[in-house]
Amino acid sequence: MRQRIFAHELQPGGWIDEQALALEYGISRTPLREALKVLASEGLVVLKPRRGCYVTELSEQDIDEVFPVMALLEGRVAEEAARRITSADFARLEVIHADLEKHAAANNADRFFEVNQRFHNALQDIAGNRYLAQLIDDARQVIKLTRRDSLRLEGRLKQSLAEHRDILEALRQKDPAKARRSMHDHLISGRTALARLAGSN
Amino acid sequence: MRQRIFAHELQPGGWIDEQALALEYGISRTPLREALKVLASEGLVVLKPRRGCYVTELSEQDIDEVFPVMALLEGRVAEEAARRITSADFARLEVIHADLEKHAAANNADRFFEVNQRFHNALQDIAGNRYLAQLIDDARQVIKLTRRDSLRLEGRLKQSLAEHRDILEALRQKDPAKARRSMHDHLISGRTALARLAGSN
DNA sequence: TCCCATGATACTGCATCCATAATTATGAAT
DNA sequence: ATTCATAATTATGGATGCAGTATCATGGGA
């Protein structure tokens, strides 16, 4: 169901037909409703009492609330990672980054998106704070509710790559403050790209 | 159920008997299980497949992961609040703080705890970021899973008050950086108090 | 005496069914 | 023709019942 929500197969703001979905998945309404409760707590859907379940629709205000927090959290991850990173960790990151360069060169936004997520997850592992990582994962899910096509903006892939290089450089230097700033700016830059996209619609 | 979990009436690590609780609340297992799903997503309980539901038990490592994040988030709230605070807001905060002084003088840790929460919530309102506020509320719930008796430590109330005065001073001066630092240190100080408590057991 | 296997018990997870409330459709009155 | 009231339909929220599996106990074998 998460996939279908992210793919906008279930459209934002749209009503979720419990019986139809239950029938489709070949299960009864009971487990489906429990799943909806979980999705609701993750912020992917909203449950209106006696009115049913609706896919969450993010307002511009919502996005402006989530992104700064995301930037703060990811910045913290980078900071902590810079303190703890080993050369083996760094090597792993470089492999992932090489993949990113490849997909950017091929202008493959979807693959870039996937590998980008792997990059950030790897950083979370290095930082070693599971709670922090979980908050970021949740926030990322919420952000994914919006169109992720910002990566398809002219030049955004290249820009994102450059920002990643900054982060990698800070990690190589084991400079926590710089890593935090680079990562923070990277996320804010992502928000800006999204805004440009919204503005052009 | 949250109350009972926080009050350790349902003990950390303990198994939750669905039927017993359902019977006690006079409802069937279905809505109770849905409630457990919500609590699980809030981190208050853990659901082990085919094994039932258990009250979350925080390890020292868990606490060391949550508190820094909490300090980061609350720091951000203070920072943002310092930017947006009005004189009317400040007056409200001072009323709450006066209450805190009163309860501290009376050495009433429970009341202090409550009003302290009101203070922090008021700050969240001023900061005006609902997403950020929600993350903090969740984190606070998780933290409440541990004993909150750290406030009963000799001198902790006075120390907490002093830290609040620092925060208020930063807000009065509308100094975001100072507000962030003060709040951050306040939270870290809370973690230290908890550690002292754990050490004395 | 200790360990493993097998059966009994009990709890979880799911399906089905029912009641209540909301929404929509239909009919009447202005 | 339009609006309001009432009835019918539909969906949500909860209760009940059942199948499958995990745990525990008991008994047999080493």
**Could you write out the DSSP letters of every residue in A8-23?**
TSS-TTPEE-HHHHHH
Domain containing residue B34: CATH number: 1.10.10.10
Instruction: Count how many domains chain B has.
Output: 2
Query: What pLDDT does A201 receive?
Result: 63
pLDDT tens-digit map of A120-174: 999 999 999 999 999 999 999 999 999 777 889 989 999 999 999 999 999 999 9
> Do B8 and B23 fall into the same domain?
yes
Rounded to whole angstroms, the Cα distance separating B99 from B111 reads: 9
> Do B125 and B45 fall into the same domain?
no
Collect all residues from B whose CB is shorter than 8 A from any CB in A: 30, 33-34, 37-38, 40-42, 62, 65-66, 68-69, 72-73, 76, 129-132, 135, 142
> Do B157 and B68 fall into the same domain?
yes
Q: Name every chain A residue with its beta carbon within 8 A of the beta carbon of B135.
A: 69, 135
Size of chain A in residues? 201
Domain containing residue A82: CATH number: 1.20.120.530
Query: B23, B40, B55: which is the final residue of a domain?
Result: B55
> Do B153 and B93 fall into the same domain?
yes
Q: How far is CA B92 from the centre of its chain?
A: 20
Query: What pLDDT does B173 receive?
Result: 98
Collect all residues from A whose CB is shorter than 8 A from any CB in B: 30, 33-34, 37-38, 40-42, 62, 65-66, 68-69, 72-73, 76, 129-132, 135, 142
> Do B79 and B178 fall into the same domain?
yes
> Do B130 and B167 fall into the same domain?
yes
Q: Which residue of chain A has the CA closest to B69?
A: A132
pLDDT tens-digit map of A2-48: 999 999 999 999 999 999 999 999 999 999 999 999 999 999 999 99
Q: Which of B135, B18, B38, B48 is nearest to A36 (CA)?
A: B38
Q: What is the mean pLDDT of residues B89-115?
A: 97
Q: Is the pLDDT of residue A199 over 90?
A: no
Mean pLDDT of chain B: 96
Provide the shortest C-alpha distance from residue A119 to chain B (in Å). Answer: 21
Of all nucleotides, the one whose C1′ comes closest to residue A52's CA is: D12
Do B69 and A37 make contact, defined as CB atoms within 8 angstroms?
no
> Do B103 and B143 fall into the same domain?
yes
Query: A31, A55, A79: which is the final residue of a domain?
Result: A55
> Do A142 and A196 fall into the same domain?
yes
Query: B17, B33, B55: which is the final residue of a domain?
Result: B55
A52 CA to C27 C1' in angstroms comes to 30
> Do A103 and A17 fall into the same domain?
no
pLDDT tens-digit map of A51-93: 999 999 999 999 999 999 999 999 999 999 999 999 999 999 9
Residue B201's pLDDT band (boundaries 50, 70, 90)?
low
Residue A119's pLDDT band (boundaries 50, 70, 90)?
very high
Nearest to B34 among A37, A72, A73 (CB): A37
User: Phi, psi at residue A60, to the nearest 5°?
Assistant: -60, -35
The domain in which residue B13 lies consists of 2-55
Rounded to whole angstroms, the Cα distance separating A1 from A13 reads: 15
Rounded to whole angstroms, the Cα distance separating B185 from B170 reads: 13
> Do A48 and A68 fall into the same domain?
no
> Do A185 and A147 fall into the same domain?
yes
Query: What pLDDT does A15 receive?
Result: 96
> Do B123 and B188 fall into the same domain?
yes
Q: How many CB pairs under 8 A join A and B?
A: 56
